[in-house]
Structure 1
Amino acid sequence: MNSATDTDRTFPAALAAVAEVDFYDDHYLSVDEDEDEYHRFDFEPTAYFESAEWTTGMFRSWTGNPEADGDVYLPFGQDGAGGRAMVWRARPGRPLSDQPIVFLGSEGEVGVVAGNLSDFLWVLADGYGPMEAALAEELASRPEEPLVRLAERHATTPRRTAEEIVTETRAEFPTFKEDIHAMCR
């Protein structure tokens, strides 16, 4: 699982564009008419990848395993509780844009979000942040137009719903959660 040897840490332009979006403060999705409430993204993107040293320390702390290696993870954002959205270099020799996006929550939650950066943009456009996409059982489409426009500018894959993308990614990486939890002490 952690055999990727790529060292590219160049921050992708698409993630830089995501970092400019104000998700946490005043970035609301449409009102849920059934519940009469606003849905918010719980996502604070960064405009950089955390350092390799920081990432290894975070991963070792998260797993409780001093031997755990976080080399294949590139954190680029968090939720309000400190859970991390990360690029997972699971496909050796392929560019960062082709790598899956995953989420590690502050309370041990784990999940895949999208199979590549482009699909991650469509997940955001469909109304879901990394935590929500990784953990939700059902993902009802609720497009957010500013994020649709961002995805249209940067995505290289066709537009699909978050449900389609997350379902496909979970099928491609069915043991991600178990593999991560196996590293925990």
Structure 2
Amino acid sequence: MHGTVLMLLKRYVQTQYDHSTWLKLMELSGLENVEFDHKTVYPDENIYALVGQAAEMTGLSAGELHEKFGEYLVPDLMFMYQKYVQPEWKTLDMIEHTELTMHKQVRREHPENSPPVLNVKRLGENELIIDYVSPRRMSGLAVGIVRGLATYFDEADRIDVMPTTSHDGERVRIHVRRT
């Protein structure tokens, strides 16, 4: 997992709870001596440990935490990748173009990093299907990002996001529709 994501997770925990919660989470995860930075790619086990401990601490499932974190990530992602975003794009357009713009750039600049593959099929002007593929099994993050994009583009009340397969698989189908 790229260090930027882990640093944003730290900020998320600190803003939703507090700094002492982050320290406790790091300790319970066995990561109290790890200092994340934005240039390093860390073992995926780090985020699994952190999210697993956070699930125990909050009583939420890992999938729910991934979704909440995904929503939180969107403003930062939009800032980081703003040069790839066309001004006329809205939620569905962003999803449709993520693989060939942002993910392509991540893979080019950081070959050691591996964002999920998003095979997107546009079904019409107001509907698409995302086939999320990743051995990380973190499709909840993708669902949260879709919801966060809808909020970012002021479409939250018009976007329906429905995973249509098990949310914890390597391959997850997500149906997105604008009403």
Q: Same fold (TM over 0.5)?
A: no
Larger proportion of helix: 2
Normalised TM-score (structure 1) = 0.29
